Structure 1
Amino acid sequence: MSNEFGSYIPLCSALAGGLLSLIGSWGAVWFSTRSAINRDSHQLANAFKGEMSALVHIAELRNYAASLREQAKWCTDNNAVGFFSAPSRKEYRAVYKANVGKLGSLKGDLPKQIAIVYTQMASLQEDLKTLDEIHIGTRTDAWMGQPVTASQRYSGMALLIEDTISKAKATLTEIDRLYPVSAR
Protein backbone atom coordinates (compact mmCIF):
# COMPACT_ATOMS: atom_id res chain seq x y z
CA MET A 1 0.00 0.00 0.00
CA SER A 2 2.82 2.42 0.78
CA ASN A 3 4.23 1.58 -2.62
CA GLU A 4 0.95 2.66 -4.27
CA PHE A 5 0.98 6.01 -2.45
CA GLY A 6 4.62 6.56 -3.34
CA SER A 7 3.80 6.29 -7.02
CA TYR A 8 1.36 9.21 -6.69
CA ILE A 9 3.95 11.59 -5.23
CA PRO A 10 5.34 12.71 -8.62
CA LEU A 11 1.79 13.19 -9.92
CA CYS A 12 0.79 15.21 -6.84
CA SER A 13 3.99 17.24 -7.10
CA ALA A 14 3.30 17.99 -10.77
CA LEU A 15 -0.30 18.97 -10.02
CA ALA A 16 0.76 21.18 -7.09
CA GLY A 17 3.45 22.81 -9.20
CA GLY A 18 1.01 23.37 -12.05
CA LEU A 19 -1.58 24.82 -9.67
CA LEU A 20 0.98 27.16 -8.11
CA SER A 21 2.13 28.20 -11.58
CA LEU A 22 -1.47 28.88 -12.64
CA ILE A 23 -2.14 30.90 -9.49
CA GLY A 24 1.10 32.85 -9.99
CA SER A 25 0.25 33.64 -13.62
CA TRP A 26 -3.27 34.69 -12.72
CA GLY A 27 -1.91 36.85 -9.88
CA ALA A 28 0.59 38.55 -12.17
CA VAL A 29 -2.08 39.29 -14.79
CA TRP A 30 -4.49 40.52 -12.10
CA PHE A 31 -1.84 42.77 -10.53
CA SER A 32 -0.72 44.13 -13.90
CA THR A 33 -4.31 44.86 -14.98
CA ARG A 34 -5.16 46.46 -11.66
CA SER A 35 -2.05 48.65 -11.81
CA ALA A 36 -2.93 49.79 -15.34
CA ILE A 37 -6.52 50.56 -14.32
CA ASN A 38 -5.33 52.55 -11.29
CA ARG A 39 -2.80 54.46 -13.41
CA ASP A 40 -5.43 55.26 -16.07
CA SER A 41 -7.94 56.31 -13.41
CA HIS A 42 -5.34 58.59 -11.79
CA GLN A 43 -4.48 60.17 -15.15
CA LEU A 44 -8.16 60.69 -15.97
CA ALA A 45 -8.80 62.32 -12.58
CA ASN A 46 -5.83 64.64 -13.15
CA ALA A 47 -7.09 65.56 -16.62
CA PHE A 48 -10.46 66.54 -15.15
CA LYS A 49 -8.67 68.40 -12.38
CA GLY A 50 -6.70 70.42 -14.93
CA GLU A 51 -9.68 71.31 -17.08
CA MET A 52 -11.97 72.08 -14.15
CA SER A 53 -9.29 74.19 -12.43
CA ALA A 54 -8.86 76.24 -15.59
CA LEU A 55 -12.61 76.77 -15.98
CA VAL A 56 -12.97 77.89 -12.35
CA HIS A 57 -10.01 80.23 -12.73
CA ILE A 58 -11.45 81.78 -15.91
CA ALA A 59 -14.90 82.30 -14.35
CA GLU A 60 -13.39 83.88 -11.24
CA LEU A 61 -10.88 86.01 -13.14
CA ARG A 62 -13.52 87.38 -15.50
CA ASN A 63 -15.89 87.85 -12.56
CA TYR A 64 -18.97 86.77 -14.52
CA ALA A 65 -21.20 86.39 -11.46
CA ALA A 66 -20.61 89.96 -10.25
CA SER A 67 -21.12 91.34 -13.78
CA LEU A 68 -24.42 89.50 -14.08
CA ARG A 69 -25.52 90.82 -10.67
CA GLU A 70 -24.66 94.35 -11.77
CA GLN A 71 -26.72 93.85 -14.93
CA ALA A 72 -29.63 92.51 -12.86
CA LYS A 73 -29.47 95.59 -10.64
CA TRP A 74 -29.31 97.87 -13.68
CA CYS A 75 -32.48 96.26 -15.11
CA THR A 76 -34.31 96.81 -11.81
CA ASP A 77 -33.01 100.35 -11.23
CA ASN A 78 -33.78 101.52 -14.79
CA ASN A 79 -36.94 99.46 -15.36
CA ALA A 80 -35.41 98.42 -18.66
CA VAL A 81 -33.82 95.33 -20.13
CA GLY A 82 -30.05 95.64 -20.24
CA PHE A 83 -27.90 93.23 -22.17
CA PHE A 84 -24.95 91.27 -20.96
CA SER A 85 -22.70 89.57 -23.47
CA ALA A 86 -19.76 87.24 -22.96
CA PRO A 87 -19.08 85.51 -26.28
CA SER A 88 -18.52 81.78 -25.95
CA ARG A 89 -17.14 80.57 -29.26
CA LYS A 90 -14.70 77.89 -28.11
CA GLU A 91 -15.28 74.50 -26.54
CA TYR A 92 -13.87 74.55 -23.04
CA ARG A 93 -15.03 71.06 -22.08
CA ALA A 94 -12.81 68.97 -24.36
CA VAL A 95 -11.55 66.61 -21.62
CA TYR A 96 -15.08 65.96 -20.43
CA LYS A 97 -16.46 65.34 -23.91
CA ALA A 98 -13.59 63.02 -24.83
CA ASN A 99 -13.80 61.02 -21.61
CA VAL A 100 -17.42 61.06 -20.45
CA GLY A 101 -17.66 57.31 -21.13
CA LYS A 102 -14.78 56.68 -18.73
CA LEU A 103 -16.27 58.51 -15.75
CA GLY A 104 -17.28 55.21 -14.15
CA SER A 105 -13.63 54.26 -13.75
CA LEU A 106 -13.12 57.03 -11.20
CA LYS A 107 -13.32 56.36 -7.47
CA GLY A 108 -16.06 57.32 -5.06
CA ASP A 109 -18.67 59.88 -6.04
CA LEU A 110 -16.39 61.57 -8.58
CA PRO A 111 -18.39 60.37 -11.61
CA LYS A 112 -21.56 61.94 -10.20
CA GLN A 113 -19.82 65.13 -9.02
CA ILE A 114 -18.06 65.66 -12.34
CA ALA A 115 -21.26 65.06 -14.32
CA ILE A 116 -23.13 67.63 -12.22
CA VAL A 117 -20.42 70.28 -12.59
CA TYR A 118 -20.12 69.82 -16.35
CA THR A 119 -23.89 69.75 -16.88
CA GLN A 120 -24.18 73.04 -15.02
CA MET A 121 -21.29 74.45 -17.08
CA ALA A 122 -23.05 73.40 -20.29
CA SER A 123 -26.24 75.13 -19.14
CA LEU A 124 -24.32 78.32 -18.38
CA GLN A 125 -22.56 78.20 -21.73
CA GLU A 126 -25.92 77.80 -23.46
CA ASP A 127 -27.27 80.86 -21.62
CA LEU A 128 -24.16 82.89 -22.51
CA LYS A 129 -24.52 81.88 -26.17
CA THR A 130 -28.16 82.97 -26.11
CA LEU A 131 -27.23 86.34 -24.60
CA ASP A 132 -24.51 86.80 -27.21
CA GLU A 133 -26.94 85.94 -30.02
CA ILE A 134 -29.33 88.60 -28.67
CA HIS A 135 -26.44 91.07 -28.46
CA ILE A 136 -25.33 90.52 -32.08
CA GLY A 137 -28.93 90.45 -33.35
CA THR A 138 -29.25 86.83 -34.50
CA ARG A 139 -31.93 86.20 -31.86
CA THR A 140 -34.73 88.42 -30.61
CA ASP A 141 -34.69 89.78 -27.10
CA ALA A 142 -38.05 88.13 -26.33
CA TRP A 143 -36.15 85.50 -24.28
CA MET A 144 -35.23 88.23 -21.81
CA GLY A 145 -38.83 89.19 -21.07
CA GLN A 146 -39.73 92.25 -19.06
CA PRO A 147 -37.13 94.10 -16.92
CA VAL A 148 -38.08 92.17 -13.79
CA THR A 149 -37.76 88.86 -15.64
CA ALA A 150 -34.43 89.90 -17.17
CA SER A 151 -33.16 90.87 -13.72
CA GLN A 152 -34.23 87.48 -12.36
CA ARG A 153 -32.50 85.71 -15.27
CA TYR A 154 -29.26 87.54 -14.63
CA SER A 155 -29.45 86.91 -10.88
CA GLY A 156 -30.20 83.23 -11.49
CA MET A 157 -27.24 82.90 -13.83
CA ALA A 158 -24.99 84.54 -11.23
CA LEU A 159 -26.20 82.07 -8.59
CA LEU A 160 -25.65 79.16 -10.96
CA ILE A 161 -22.10 80.34 -11.70
CA GLU A 162 -21.32 80.59 -7.99
CA ASP A 163 -22.90 77.20 -7.29
CA THR A 164 -20.97 75.61 -10.16
CA ILE A 165 -17.69 77.10 -8.94
CA SER A 166 -18.42 75.84 -5.43
CA LYS A 167 -19.24 72.34 -6.69
CA ALA A 168 -16.17 72.34 -8.93
CA LYS A 169 -13.92 73.30 -6.01
CA ALA A 170 -15.44 70.53 -3.87
CA THR A 171 -14.83 68.09 -6.73
CA LEU A 172 -11.22 69.25 -7.06
CA THR A 173 -10.74 68.66 -3.33
CA GLU A 174 -12.24 65.18 -3.71
CA ILE A 175 -9.88 64.42 -6.61
CA ASP A 176 -6.93 65.43 -4.42
CA ARG A 177 -8.22 63.22 -1.60
CA LEU A 178 -8.89 60.15 -3.76
CA TYR A 179 -5.87 60.58 -6.04
CA PRO A 180 -3.07 62.05 -3.95
CA VAL A 181 0.07 63.06 -5.80
CA SER A 182 2.23 60.69 -3.69
CA ALA A 183 0.10 57.66 -4.69
CA ARG A 184 1.83 57.31 -8.05
Structure 2
Amino acid sequence: MPPKSKKGKSKTGPITQAGPRPRATPPHTLSAAYIFPGLHYKIITALSGDCVADSALPYFNLAGTDREATDTYDTTIQADFQCINQSCSEFEWSSKIVGIEILKFGDNTYNATIFNQRCKACDALGYLRLEEDSYVARVVYRLKKWAGVKMEEQPYNPCRGGPVHASELCEGCKVGKCKYATNFEEDY
Protein backbone atom coordinates (compact mmCIF):
# COMPACT_ATOMS: atom_id res chain seq x y z
CA MET A 1 0.00 0.00 0.00
CA PRO A 2 1.46 3.41 -0.91
CA PRO A 3 2.31 5.69 2.01
CA LYS A 4 -0.28 8.34 2.85
CA SER A 5 0.44 12.05 2.80
CA LYS A 6 -0.68 14.32 5.64
CA LYS A 7 -3.97 15.03 3.82
CA GLY A 8 -4.75 11.32 3.54
CA LYS A 9 -4.13 11.06 -0.21
CA SER A 10 -1.85 8.55 -1.86
CA LYS A 11 1.53 10.00 -2.87
CA THR A 12 1.28 8.13 -6.13
CA GLY A 13 -2.08 9.63 -7.12
CA PRO A 14 -5.46 8.02 -7.65
CA ILE A 15 -5.64 4.32 -8.31
CA THR A 16 -7.48 3.42 -11.51
CA GLN A 17 -8.47 0.10 -12.97
CA ALA A 18 -8.06 -0.58 -16.67
CA GLY A 19 -10.47 -2.76 -18.58
CA PRO A 20 -14.25 -3.19 -18.39
CA ARG A 21 -16.25 -1.58 -15.63
CA PRO A 22 -16.45 -3.89 -12.64
CA ARG A 23 -19.86 -5.14 -11.65
CA ALA A 24 -21.01 -4.12 -8.22
CA THR A 25 -21.46 -6.62 -5.47
CA PRO A 26 -25.01 -6.12 -4.22
CA PRO A 27 -25.33 -4.84 -0.65
CA HIS A 28 -28.18 -7.30 -0.21
CA THR A 29 -28.82 -10.91 -1.11
CA LEU A 30 -30.33 -11.36 -4.55
CA SER A 31 -34.00 -12.20 -4.19
CA ALA A 32 -37.18 -12.26 -6.24
CA ALA A 33 -38.70 -9.65 -3.89
CA TYR A 34 -37.56 -7.12 -1.29
CA ILE A 35 -38.92 -5.00 1.52
CA PHE A 36 -37.23 -1.79 2.62
CA PRO A 37 -38.07 -1.12 6.30
CA GLY A 38 -35.12 1.28 6.43
CA LEU A 39 -37.14 3.75 4.33
CA HIS A 40 -40.02 3.86 6.82
CA TYR A 41 -38.67 7.11 8.28
CA LYS A 42 -39.09 8.78 4.87
CA ILE A 43 -42.68 7.55 4.69
CA ILE A 44 -43.41 8.94 8.16
CA THR A 45 -41.71 12.25 7.33
CA ALA A 46 -43.86 12.60 4.22
CA LEU A 47 -47.05 11.71 6.13
CA SER A 48 -46.39 13.85 9.21
CA GLY A 49 -48.40 17.04 9.38
CA ASP A 50 -50.06 16.38 6.05
CA CYS A 51 -53.64 15.70 7.15
CA VAL A 52 -52.50 12.59 9.05
CA ALA A 53 -52.50 12.92 12.84
CA ASP A 54 -49.32 11.78 14.59
CA SER A 55 -51.37 9.22 16.51
CA ALA A 56 -52.54 7.74 13.19
CA LEU A 57 -49.08 7.36 11.66
CA PRO A 58 -48.57 3.73 10.66
CA TYR A 59 -45.75 1.40 11.65
CA PHE A 60 -43.84 -0.85 9.27
CA ASN A 61 -44.87 -4.51 9.48
CA LEU A 62 -41.91 -6.81 8.80
CA ALA A 63 -43.81 -10.08 8.67
CA GLY A 64 -47.31 -9.36 7.36
CA THR A 65 -48.54 -11.16 4.25
CA ASP A 66 -51.36 -10.45 1.81
CA ARG A 67 -53.48 -13.14 3.51
CA GLU A 68 -53.50 -11.06 6.71
CA ALA A 69 -53.90 -7.65 5.04
CA THR A 70 -57.07 -5.60 5.28
CA ASP A 71 -56.19 -3.72 2.07
CA THR A 72 -53.84 -4.49 -0.80
CA TYR A 73 -52.78 -2.44 -3.80
CA ASP A 74 -50.53 -3.39 -6.70
CA THR A 75 -48.81 -0.56 -8.57
CA THR A 76 -45.43 0.25 -10.09
CA ILE A 77 -42.37 2.27 -9.21
CA GLN A 78 -39.08 3.06 -10.91
CA ALA A 79 -35.76 1.33 -10.32
CA ASP A 80 -32.43 0.61 -11.92
CA PHE A 81 -30.96 -2.86 -12.25
CA GLN A 82 -27.52 -4.28 -12.84
CA CYS A 83 -26.71 -7.75 -14.09
CA ILE A 84 -24.08 -9.25 -11.84
CA ASN A 85 -23.26 -12.08 -14.22
CA GLN A 86 -19.64 -11.28 -15.18
CA SER A 87 -19.97 -12.96 -18.58
CA CYS A 88 -23.26 -11.27 -19.53
CA SER A 89 -23.35 -8.63 -22.27
CA GLU A 90 -26.13 -6.65 -20.55
CA PHE A 91 -24.59 -4.37 -17.93
CA GLU A 92 -27.53 -2.41 -16.55
CA TRP A 93 -31.07 -1.31 -17.31
CA SER A 94 -33.78 0.96 -15.94
CA SER A 95 -37.48 0.31 -15.63
CA LYS A 96 -40.50 2.49 -14.94
CA ILE A 97 -42.58 -0.65 -14.44
CA VAL A 98 -41.25 -2.35 -11.32
CA GLY A 99 -44.02 -4.18 -9.49
CA ILE A 100 -44.79 -3.20 -5.91
CA GLU A 101 -47.48 -4.60 -3.62
CA ILE A 102 -48.54 -2.30 -0.77
CA LEU A 103 -50.35 -3.94 2.15
CA LYS A 104 -52.30 -2.41 5.04
CA PHE A 105 -53.03 -4.32 8.23
CA GLY A 106 -55.70 -3.84 10.92
CA ASP A 107 -53.17 -2.92 13.60
CA ASN A 108 -52.19 0.35 11.84
CA THR A 109 -49.19 -1.20 10.11
CA TYR A 110 -48.21 -1.54 6.47
CA ASN A 111 -45.51 -2.99 4.29
CA ALA A 112 -44.51 -2.83 0.66
CA THR A 113 -42.91 -5.59 -1.37
CA ILE A 114 -40.88 -4.67 -4.45
CA PHE A 115 -40.42 -7.34 -7.09
CA ASN A 116 -37.12 -7.86 -8.85
CA GLN A 117 -36.50 -8.27 -12.57
CA ARG A 118 -34.35 -10.66 -14.57
CA CYS A 119 -31.73 -9.77 -17.14
CA LYS A 120 -33.06 -10.11 -20.69
CA ALA A 121 -29.68 -11.37 -21.95
CA CYS A 122 -28.93 -14.13 -19.41
CA ASP A 123 -32.10 -14.49 -17.27
CA ALA A 124 -30.18 -13.92 -14.00
CA LEU A 125 -31.86 -11.90 -11.25
CA GLY A 126 -30.75 -8.28 -11.38
CA TYR A 127 -29.26 -6.23 -8.58
CA LEU A 128 -32.09 -3.79 -7.80
CA ARG A 129 -31.22 -0.16 -7.05
CA LEU A 130 -34.41 1.41 -5.81
CA GLU A 131 -35.34 4.96 -6.82
CA GLU A 132 -36.34 5.98 -3.31
CA ASP A 133 -38.42 9.02 -4.30
CA SER A 134 -40.60 6.87 -6.54
CA TYR A 135 -41.07 4.30 -3.75
CA VAL A 136 -41.88 6.91 -1.09
CA ALA A 137 -44.33 8.78 -3.35
CA ARG A 138 -46.28 5.60 -4.21
CA VAL A 139 -46.45 4.28 -0.64
CA VAL A 140 -47.39 7.66 0.85
CA TYR A 141 -50.09 8.21 -1.76
CA ARG A 142 -51.66 4.80 -1.05
CA LEU A 143 -51.48 5.18 2.75
CA LYS A 144 -53.18 8.59 2.50
CA LYS A 145 -55.93 7.17 0.28
CA TRP A 146 -56.52 4.37 2.79
CA ALA A 147 -56.58 6.93 5.63
CA GLY A 148 -59.38 8.81 3.87
CA VAL A 149 -57.28 11.83 2.89
CA LYS A 150 -58.72 13.48 -0.24
CA MET A 151 -56.15 12.95 -2.95
CA GLU A 152 -55.99 14.08 -6.55
CA GLU A 153 -55.72 11.13 -8.90
CA GLN A 154 -52.16 10.87 -10.14
CA PRO A 155 -51.86 10.86 -13.92
CA TYR A 156 -49.33 8.15 -14.59
CA ASN A 157 -48.44 6.18 -17.66
CA PRO A 158 -45.29 4.13 -17.05
CA CYS A 159 -45.29 2.79 -20.61
CA ARG A 160 -45.04 6.26 -22.17
CA GLY A 161 -41.58 6.77 -23.62
CA GLY A 162 -40.24 3.40 -22.56
CA PRO A 163 -40.09 -0.19 -23.72
CA VAL A 164 -43.03 -2.54 -23.38
CA HIS A 165 -43.12 -4.42 -20.07
CA ALA A 166 -41.46 -7.85 -20.37
CA SER A 167 -43.67 -9.99 -18.12
CA GLU A 168 -41.42 -13.02 -18.52
CA LEU A 169 -38.58 -11.11 -16.78
CA CYS A 170 -40.71 -9.61 -13.99
CA GLU A 171 -40.85 -11.50 -10.70
CA GLY A 172 -44.07 -9.66 -9.80
CA CYS A 173 -45.76 -10.97 -12.94
CA LYS A 174 -44.76 -14.52 -12.06
CA VAL A 175 -46.71 -14.35 -8.79
CA GLY A 176 -49.62 -12.27 -10.14
CA LYS A 177 -48.67 -9.09 -8.27
CA CYS A 178 -47.73 -6.83 -11.17
CA LYS A 179 -50.55 -4.80 -12.68
CA TYR A 180 -48.95 -5.12 -16.12
CA ALA A 181 -48.70 -8.91 -16.10
CA THR A 182 -49.94 -10.49 -19.30
CA ASN A 183 -51.32 -13.37 -17.24
CA PHE A 184 -52.63 -11.26 -14.35
CA GLU A 185 -55.90 -12.46 -12.86
CA GLU A 186 -58.03 -10.16 -10.69
CA ASP A 187 -58.70 -12.81 -8.03
CA TYR A 188 -55.06 -13.03 -6.88
TM-score greater than 0.5 by the shorter chain: no
Q: Report TM bin, short chain.
A: under 0.3
**Larger fraction in strand:** 2
Give the TM-score, by structure 2 length.
Answer: 0.23
Give the structure with higher Rg (CA): 1
Give the TM-score, by structure 1 length.
Answer: 0.24
